[in-house]
Structure 1
Amino acid sequence: MTENKKSEDLETKIIEAAKELFIENGFAETSMSDIATKVGINRPGVHYYFRTKDKMFQAVFGSIVKSLIPKVQDIILQQDTPIGERIGRVVDAYYEVFKANPNLPIFIMKEMHRDFDYFSKTITEMHSVHYFDTIRNGLQNEMKKGKLKTVPMRFLFLTFYSLLTMPFSTKNMCQNILLEENETYDEMLAKWKPYIITHVCNLLSNENQN
């Protein structure tokens, strides 16, 4: 294995360790020493790759965004595909990430609440804003053409993400109270998916839609 490959592998391990700790404990409660201990290296080793914890956060959040948002953009922009099918595929993309990181929705909400200006700055510095702009513009273009009902984007955002994240944000409650007899949490999520699609489709449905 080359030195460059070893370096890349170690950097990946650091990012993954930091992601686990940030999601589990929060940004403020996680130290660089905690990350170094989890990886099995000393703190200077972590600082060699990420000079500050802010840089570490950007790398962690960037890895999450880059694994998800471009995929969501590609799905949404497929305007020849029925909106219900697109919504279902977007839900699948989020489910894949959230099932692997079930506390991720809570972590994101906490970080937005902790310091929204920093959170927003991080997204901007990752050059990820254009993905969100492209998704918004694509949907608004369909609304202008009459393919979708004209809906304020903020209401569409709140509707979709509320429906999507609530079962993950309340996972303990779902597992202990809301599951049917012999039902697993993943089975409940699968049953919940059509409700997300139905509610969002009802919001966007246009009587004149082709």
Structure 2
Amino acid sequence: MSDDKSLSLENRILETAKSVFMEKGYSDTSMSEIAERVGINRPGLHYYFRTKDKLFHAVFGAIVQSLVPQFQDILCQKNLPFAERIGKVIDVYYQMLLQNPYLPLFVLREIHRDMNFMLAAFHNQRVLHFFEELKKELQAEMDSGRLRQVPLRVVFCTFYSALVFPFLSKNLLTQTMMQDHEDFEDLLTEWKPYIVHQMVSLLCPTE
């Protein structure tokens, strides 16, 4: 098998596995079903990924690794006003969540199923180190007076609840609160400045 064909098949496996994991959750996903959807036999799947854990970490890692460099770039832009940096972070999340709309529900399910497994997935991708750096950066800005002293868990809950809820409630919103000529991205565009406003109100000292 040529390298190009091998890479193409591996990408198909990853995309298929991502769909099945998001649809069914980790526990109810089987390697046999992934192989069947890809159109290969199970030994062929095991040639690329020997276990379901390894395949899950590869799928999860591909999503995470697409985000971290972008976030690091934004964090380095310290000359930008806080509101602009938050807006850029939201744009990165929007792009990722539009490509993976079932990810928020999947993550919530997996947190409830086995939090240690999810933490292991983050640790495997060295993401926990990034979040520790982010926490230190926020705390340093608070200590310097550039941001208000707010518990970091409050910052986390405020941002992610505002960011993720539209994706969790997409079916309800699109069927009951949107006009026929609107689509979900119109709602996200409308909602974005309100997320920014919430974060600025929470963290930025008043003049």
TM-score, with length taken from structure 1: 0.93
CA distance in structure 2 between the aligned counterparts of 1:43 and 1:112, rounded to whole angstroms: 28
CA contact (8 A) 1:84 1:197 kept: yes
**2:10 equivalent in structure 1:** 11
Is the 1:71–1:93 Cα contact (8 Å) retained in structure 2?
yes
Q: Which residue number in structure 1 is paired with residue 156 of structure 2?
A: 157
Tell me how far apart the structure 1 counterparts of residues 78 and 136 of structure 2 sit (CA, whole Å).
Answer: 12
* RMSD (Å), alpha carbons: 1.4
2:78 is paired with a residue whose SS is coil
The superposition leaves residues 28-54 of structure 1 with CA deviations (integer Å, 9 ceiling, x where unpaired) of 111111111121111111111111101
**What whole-Å deviation, never above 9, does each CA across 1:72-125 have from its counterpart, x for those lacking one?**
232133221111001111111011111111111101111111100111011112
Identity %: 46
Q: Determine the C-alpha separation between the residues in 1 that align with 2:179 and 2:154.
A: 31
| Conserved? CA contact 1:73–1:134, under 8 Å | no
Runs of 5+ in structure 2 lacking a partner?
A: none
Q: What is the CA–CA distance in structure 1 between the aligned matches of 2:10 and 2:24, rounded to whole Å?
A: 21
Task: Report the alpha carbon displacement of residue 181 of structure 1 after superposing the two structures with TM.
Answer: 5.6
The amino acid that maps onto 2:60 is: F
Read off the aligned partner of 2:187 and give its amino acid letter.
Answer: M
Q: Who is 1:23 aligned against?
A: 22
1:50: which partner in 2? Answer: 49
| 5+ long unaligned stretches in structure 1 | none
Pairing 1:144-183 to 2, within 5 Å after superposition: 144-180=143-179, 182-183=181-182
Q: Distance in 2 between matches of 1:40 and 1:66?
A: 27
Equivalent residue runs for 1:116-127 within 5 Å = 116-127=115-126
The number of aligned residues is 207
The answer to whether 1:96 aligns with 2:103 is no
Residue 133 of structure 1 and its aligned partner are, at CA, apart by 1.3
Amino acid at match of 2:160: Y
Which residue number in structure 1 is paired with residue 138 of structure 2?
Answer: 139
Pick closer, same or farther for the CA change 1:39–1:181 going to 2, 3 Å: closer
Q: What letter matches 1:60 in structure 2?
A: V
Q: 2:193 aligns to what? A: 194
CA contact (8 A) 1:148 1:206 kept: yes
1:198 Cα deviation from its structure 2 partner: 0.3
Contact residue 143 and residue 149 of structure 1 kept, 8 A? yes
Distance 2:122 2:160 in 1: 18
